[in-house]
Structure 1
Amino acid sequence: MQLVVDQLETKLGKKEIVKNISLQVNKQKFVGVIGPNGCGKSTLLKSIYKSIPPHNGKVFLGDIDVLNTSQKKISQQLGVVGQFNEMHFDLTVEQMVLLGRTPHKKLLEVDNQEDIDIVEEALSQTNLLDYKNRSYLSLSGGEKQRTILARTIAQQPQFMILDEPTNHLDIRYQLEILQCVKDLKIGVLAALHDLEMAAHYCDYLYAMQNGKVYAAGTPEEVLTPEIIGELYQIKCETYTNPVTKQLGFVYQI
C-alpha cells in the first residue's frame, strides 16, 4: 500500500511547524525521516495520521483520503507505534495486544478465536509469548514497546508509522523492534534519530530542517558528511562497515 503526502502544512498555535512537505512511500518500502530535535519530524507524522490535524495538504493511503476518512476505517489499514506509551490502568500483555483488534470489531462485539489466534501470532513475532499474562505496568521500557508493536501488528495493518519508537531504548530493543517491523514486509514511514539505524533499515530517507525537506534520497545519497554537518551542526566522517557493508559514522563537535 502506497502513502502519498502532498503539500502538508501544520501549525501549532501561530507557529508553522510543517511547511509544505510532500513525500511518498511506495509499497513495502521502509522510509525514514531524520533531522535534529525540533525540526518537525514528529509533528509531520502526527499530522499524517491526524493526531495533530494539518491546516493544509492531502494524505492518501492507497485510495483512502486519510484526512477525510473515519479513524476506524483508517486504523484497519494504518498502524502507529509512538515514542511514549504510558498508561494509568493495568492490563495483561495479552489484553493490551487484543486492543489491536478493536478497529475490526463492531460495537460491543466480543473477541473470538480468530482474534485470539491473531494475537498469539503477534506475540510470537515480538517474542512476547512468555509475557502474555504479565502486567503491562510491570514491564521494562523495551518490553512495553514490544507490546505496543505487537498490538499494532494485531491490527493487521498494510502500512505502519513509527514515531521515534526506539530513542529511549537500549541497542538490543532498538534492533529487535526495527527488524521485526522490517520483516513484516509492509510500507513503513519512521522518524528515526539514530543515523546508523536509518542507514541499515531504510530504503529511502527524507531529511528535515526547520519544518521543510532539506534532502531526500537513498541513505548513501542523504547521509553524507556535508548534509549531516548542515543538519546537526557537527563534523562527520562516513565509512563502510567491513562486516555489515552499511554506512558508519564518526562524529566530532
Structure 2
Amino acid sequence: MTQLVAQDISIQIGKKDIVKDVTLQVEHQQFVGVIGANGCGKSTLLKSLYKSLKPKKGGIFLDELDVLTASNKTVAKQLAVVSQFNEMSFDLSVEQIVLLGRTPHKKLLESDTKADYQIVEEALSQTNLLNYRERSFLSLSGGEKQRVILARAIAQQPHFIILDEPTNHLDIRYQLEILNSVKKMKIGVLAALHDLEMAAAYCDYLYAMKDGEVIAKGTPEKLLTAELIEELYQVKCQTFINPITKKMGFSYYSI
C-alpha cells in the first residue's frame, strides 16, 4: 500500500525556524488536510514535500523512494502538485499545458503518443475543460487556470497529489470544482486549506499547525472543536454538525 511520509521535518529560512520537527503521513486514497493561521508554516512544509524547499533536517518518502535524493522526474511520476499561483510568462493552449503532465513519463525528445493524447482527453473531461482545449492559457480566469493545472496533474497519473492552498483566491464555485475533481481521483491527497468548512467536508484526517509545529491531529469531527479553533485563529466560535451534509459546519462569532 502506497504511503507518503514526512518524518521529523524542520525548515529554516534565513535564521528563522519556520517548520519544527513535523511528522505526518498520507495513506493511499486518503484525503489529508493541514490547517492553521497564516504564517504557521503549512505551505512551507508542503513546499519541502514537493522539493521546492530543502528541509534543514528530516526525511520524505513515497514508500521506499527517498524524495529528497531522487530526481525530480522520478518523484513526478508518483507525486503531482497544484499550488496557489500558476502564472506563466509564455503562452500555450490548454491542451498543450495538460500535455506537459506526460513529461515525467517520457524520454528526452520523445514524441507525444496516441496514448498520451487519450490520457489528456480524459483529464480535460474530468475537469470540464474539453471545450477549452484550444484556448490560450493566459486568456483564462484564475479559476479556469487552476482547473487546467489540475488537469495537468491528473495527466501525470500520480499516486499522490499535493494541494498547496490551491483554492485560496478562488470563488466558491471554483473551490468546489477543484476539490470535487481531486476527491474523484481516488489517490492520496495532502492539502493546505484555509476554509475550515471545506476541510471538514473533504478531509478524512487533519493536522493542525501553530508556530511551525503540529499541535493536534485527528478526524475533522474530533479535531475541529471551538477550543482548538480559538487556539489556532484567536477567534471564539461554535461548531455543529450540518444536518444536510452530515459533515462539520461552523458559525463564527466575534470575540
- TM interval, short-chain normalised: over 0.9
Alignment of structure 1 residues 116-131 onto 2, 5 Å: 116-131=117-132
Aligned residue for 1:111, secondary structure, equals coil
Q: Distance in 2 between matches of 1:252 and 1:215?
A: 23
Alignment of structure 1 residues 60-139 onto 2, 5 Å: 60-139=61-140
Q: Distance in 2 between matches of 1:26 and 1:120?
A: 28
Q: Which amino acid aligns with 2:235?
A: I
Q: Distance in 1 between matches of 2:244 and 2:182?
A: 23
Partner of 2:23: 22
Q: Distance in 1 between matches of 2:168 and 2:86?
A: 13
Q: Distance in 1 between matches of 2:177 and 2:68?
A: 32
List structure 1 segments (4+ residues) > 6 angstroms apart after TM superposition. none
Q: Distance in 2 between matches of 1:63 and 1:175?
A: 34
Superposed CA offset, 1:71-105 (max 9, x none): 10000000000000001111000000001111011
- Asked if the contact 2:67/2:75 (under 8 Å) is kept, the reply is yes
Q: Distance in 1 between matches of 2:116 and 2:216?
A: 42
Alignment of structure 1 residues 26-65 onto 2, 5 Å: 26-65=27-66
State the shift of 1:8 in Å.
0.4
Q: Which amino acid aligns with 2:236?
A: K
Q: Which runs of 5+ in 2 are unaligned?
A: none
TM score, norm. by length of structure 2: 0.98
State the shift of 1:116 in Å.
0.5
Q: Which amino acid aligns with 1:180?
A: S
Q: Which runs of 5+ in 1 are unaligned?
A: none
Residue 239 (str. 1) matches residue 236 (str. 2): no
- Asked if the contact 2:28/2:159 (under 8 Å) is kept, the reply is no
Q: Distance in 1 between matches of 2:253 and 2:14?
A: 36
Superposed CA offset, 1:125-171 (max 9, x none): 00000000000011111100000000000000010100000011111
RMSD value, Cα: 0.6
Partner of 1:159: 160
State the shift of 1:250 in Å.
1.1
Partner of 1:12: 13
- Asked if the contact 2:205/2:219 (under 8 Å) is kept, the reply is yes
Identity of aligned pairs, percent?
69
Aligned residue for 2:68, secondary structure, equals helix
Q: Distance in 2 between matches of 1:4 and 1:179?
A: 24
Superposed CA offset, 1:52-82 (max 9, x none): 1101001111111111111100000000000
State the shift of 1:252 in Å.
2.0
Aligned residue for 1:37, secondary structure, equals coil
Q: Which amino acid aligns with 2:53?
A: I
Alignment of structure 1 residues 221-232 onto 2, 5 Å: 221-232=222-233
Q: Which amino acid aligns with 2:229?
A: I
Aligned residue for 1:181, secondary structure, equals helix
Aligned residue pairs total 253
Q: Distance in 2 between matches of 1:120 and 1:165?
A: 23
Q: Which amino acid aligns with 1:13?
A: G
Partner of 2:220: 219
Alignment of structure 1 residues 134-213 onto 2, 5 Å: 134-213=135-214
State the shift of 1:220 in Å.
1.1
Q: Which amino acid aligns with 1:5?
A: A
Aligned residue for 1:185, secondary structure, equals coil
Q: Distance in 1 between matches of 2:49 and 2:142?
A: 26
